[in-house]
């Protein structure tokens, strides 16, 4: 099978489940050396076993709190020191909460959403950019949400933080394009991941049937990862064909 990412190193943060997990599997299948990061070591070890079972090289596995810039910096330095390069970083870190309406949000829950969705994206960006500058370029992919473009029932904290991720992606591109750094924001609609379990009302079987799958988002990530350095894709929106 074609291995368009052979010889490249791809880092996936938020790789323990959902879109991040699917993206790590897709990148490994495309021939990349993959480093997977998240807070849950057991889930990362299971992912590593699955990558190897599918014929990929064993990935680097690092437990990281992505809300801490120093922790992400150390993790990326370890990857670069081990593999000799980092070609792309994919940020799939993010969460939502059941009590998400304006009347239910508290200062604490708002701050938690900011940390997990937006501060993590900043920490990853802040840690990745110097590594990519030193290498003469690189690709950073942030998985955001279509909620960044159109308000829905996902809650104002989710919408605001995911919109912030898109703004961060575009702003970083403007600052770093002359250093060869490209940044893409991918904005999926409803996707069948564990995040749906945090909805105030669980999704129905019919909703899950028509939802995007993590592999759909991973395919979009892989498309971006496989582009030559002369190509910049600012953003991609994916929606279920039926609503």
Please report the beta strands in the chain, taking only residues with DSSP state E, as ranges in sequence order: 9-13, 33-38, 60-63, 88-91, 138-143, 181-188, 235-238
Q: What's the CA gap between 85 and 10, in Å, rounded?
A: 9
Q: Would the pLDDT of 190 be above 90?
A: yes
pLDDT for position 242 = 87
What's the average model confidence in pLDDT over 172-198?
A: 97
Q: By the 8 A CB rule, do 76 and 88 touch?
A: no
How does residue 196 score in pLDDT terms, banded at 50, 70 and 90? very high
pLDDT tens profile 4-35? 999 999 999 999 999 999 999 999 999 999 99
Q: What's the CA gap between 120 and 94, in Å, rounded?
A: 8
Q: Would the pLDDT of 1 be above 70?
A: no
**Residue bearing tokens 């074609």:** 2
Q: Which of 87, 31, 89 is nearest to 62 (CA)?
A: 89
Instruction: Tell me what the pLDDT averaged over the chain comes to.
Output: 97
In what side-by-side order are the strands of the sheet with 9-13?
60-63, 33-38, 9-13, 88-91, 138-143, 181-188, 235-238
Q: What's the CA gap between 162 and 134, in Å, rounded?
A: 29
What's the average model confidence in pLDDT over 183-208?
A: 95
Q: By the 8 A CB rule, do 14 and 20 touch?
A: yes
What contacts 121, CB < 8 A, 6 or more positions away?
A: 91, 93, 142, 164, 165, 168
What's the average model confidence in pLDDT over 95-118?
A: 97
Q: How crowded is residue 242: how many other Cβ atoms within 10 Å of its Cβ? A: 8
pLDDT for position 243 = 74
Q: Would the pLDDT of 205 be above 70?
A: yes
Specify which residues 61 forms β-bridges with: 36
Q: Where are the domains of the chain?
A: 9-238
Catalytic positions are 158
Superfamily name and number for 9-238: NAD(P)-binding Rossmann-like Domain (3.40.50.720)
Q: What's the CA gap between 129 and 41, in Å, rounded?
A: 26
pLDDT for position 25 = 98
Q: How crowded is residue 169: how many other Cβ atoms within 10 Å of its Cβ? A: 23
Q: By the 8 A CB rule, do 180 and 136 touch?
A: yes
Q: What's the CA gap between 109 and 92, in Å, rounded?
A: 20
What's the average model confidence in pLDDT over 33-60?
A: 97
- Confirm whether pTM is higher than 0.85: yes
How many CA atoms lie less than 13 Å away from 34 in the CB half-sphere? 34
């Amino acid at each position: 099978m074609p291995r368009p990412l052979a010889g490249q190193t791809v880092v996936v943060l938020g790789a323990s489940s959902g879109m991040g997990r699917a993206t790590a599997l897709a990148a490994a299948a495309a021939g990349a050396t993959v480093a997977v990061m998240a807070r849950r070591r057991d889930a990362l070890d299971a992912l590593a076993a699955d990558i190897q079972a599918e014929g990929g090289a064993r990935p680097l596995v690092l437990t990281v709190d992505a809300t801490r810039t120093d922790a992400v910096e150390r993790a990326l330095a370890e990857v670069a020191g081990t593999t000799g390069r980092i070609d792309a970083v994919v940020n799939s870190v993010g969460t939502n909460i059941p009590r998400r309406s304006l009347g239910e949000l508290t200062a604490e829950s708002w701050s938690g959403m900011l940390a997990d969705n937006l501060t993590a994206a900043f920490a990853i960006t802040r840690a990745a950019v110097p590594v990519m500058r030193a290498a003469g370029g690189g690709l950073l992919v942030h998985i955001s949400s279509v909620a960044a473009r159109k308000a829905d029932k996902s809650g104002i904290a989710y919408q605001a933080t995911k919109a912030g991720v898109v703004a961060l992606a575009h702003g970083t591109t403007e600052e770093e394009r002359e250093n060869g750094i490209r940044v893409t924001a991918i904005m999926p609609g409803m996707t069948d991941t564990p995040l749906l379990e945090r909805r105030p009302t669980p999704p129905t079987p019919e909703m899950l049937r028509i939802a995007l799958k993590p592999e759909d988002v991973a395919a979009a990530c892989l498309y971006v990862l496989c582009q030559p350095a002369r190509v910049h894709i600012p953003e991609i929106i994916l929606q279920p064909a039926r609503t």
